[in-house]
A = this chain, B = another copy of it.
Amino acid sequence: MQLGMIGLGRMGGNMVIRLIRAGHECLVYDSHAAAVEALVAKGAQGTTRLEDFVAKLTKPRLVWLMVPAAVVDPVIGSLVPLLEPGDTIVDGGNSYYHDDIRRAGELRAKGLHYVDVGVSGGVWGLERGYCHMIGGEDEVVRRLDPIFRSLAPGVEAAARTPGASGEPEPAELGYLHCGPNGAGHFVKMVHNGIEYGLMAAYAEGLNIIHNANVGSRSQVDDAETTPLRHPEHYKYNIDVARVAEVWRRGSVVASWLLDLAASALRKSPDLDNFAGRVSDSGEGRWTVQAAVEEGVPAPVISAALFARFTSRGASDYADRLLSALRFEFGGHVEKPKAEQ
């Protein structure tokens, strides 16, 4: 099947390669000639001119965007005048699903189709396959099935769930039509919100293990420090990297994220190549906001999100106010950093 890809970064480029390997015909467009050439070398056709790109696509056209969320609207704005009724735009980036609902409406008025696809898989997707969460009209999504099927990992990537038999359904291959427009990115949004929670659970737990030796450290003894009542319970020097490794097999907490944690800790057990300023790229925020609007609790996911904010210094003013209050009511003076 023919597909035109716009955006040839880490994700888009690898997806094209995976599609070519599966026998699909890929046209690629990027304003950077080098990015285009790299994929032409792998078997794609390519261009740095958008008009060319559109002209070369067979009608009804299928254009897949793999660009940062912030530029999806401008790219669609450039594309629309070149497209014709019946063409389809797929947004495979990390758009906010509110934008999908709006865009689908705007494009529908012009006779164009819009499909929102949340894609998970990161830099590993080329070999491992990508997981797709899809929102859009039934028939349009159905037409794209060969693409999804080739990008997805396939049923053999995991044991079948007990009770599943016969011809695997798409969800078992690694893609799911979740509902009308926005549903794909809605599910991807929550996927990432869960990811924040999972990551934070591992990080908290491994931090507790990392600090299992507090009873061996010299204890400060002053009115501003809580004494450790039983230092003898905290005298363990535990190899965190090996703990991550051992949990990968047979334990209840085995996961792909744990595999990655084991990998990171093997490279650098103290993780001192990182400063601990953790970015967030939107989906965690939107997940919390969706929970709030739905009126359902999300204490774990929000705690994970807030920890990222705090890691970047966003609680400094609040923390200073706490110290100020302690000084006001009790005359407590902040301890200098070295003594904490």
Residues of B within 8 A of A144 (CB): none
A340 touching B324 in the complex, CB below 8 Å, given contacts A70-B221, A187-B238, A252-B195: no
A238 and B301 within 8 A (CB): no
In the bound assembly, the distance between CA atoms of A274 and B322 in angstroms comes to 9
Whole-angstrom distance between the Cβ of A254 and the nearest chain B Cβ: 5
Whole-angstrom distance between the Cβ of A261 and the nearest chain B Cβ: 6
Any chain B CB within 8 A of the CB of A172? yes
B305 and A303 within 8 A (CB): no
B201 and A236 within 8 A (CB): no
A300 and B330 within 8 A (CB): no
B279 and A224 within 8 A (CB): yes
A252 touching B242 in the complex, CB below 8 Å, given contacts A296-B207, A315-B296, A323-B278: no
Question: Residue of B at shortest CB range from A151?
Answer: B250
**Chain A binding surface, main DSSP class:** helix
Size class of the contact patch on chain A: 35 or more
Out of B128, B198, B264, name the residue touching A201 (CB < 8 Å).
B198
Out of B264, B296, B321, B327, name the residue touching A211 (CB < 8 Å).
B296
In the bound assembly, the distance between CA atoms of A253 and B334 in angstroms comes to 21
Copies held by the complex: 4
Kindly supply a per-residue 1/0 record for chain A positions 48-81, scoring 1 wherever the CB is within 8 Å of any chain B CB and 0 otherwise. 0000000000000000000011100000000000
Out of B172, B249, B298, name the residue touching A173 (CB < 8 Å).
B249
Residues of B within 8 A of A291 (CB): 204, 208
Kindly supply a per-residue 1/0 record for chain A positions 2-36, scoring 1 wherever the CB is within 8 Å of any chain B CB and 0 otherwise. 00000000100000000000000000000000000
A200 touching B203 in the complex, CB below 8 Å, given contacts A212-B186, A259-B158, A295-B226: no
Residues of B within 8 A of A311 (CB): 315, 319, 322
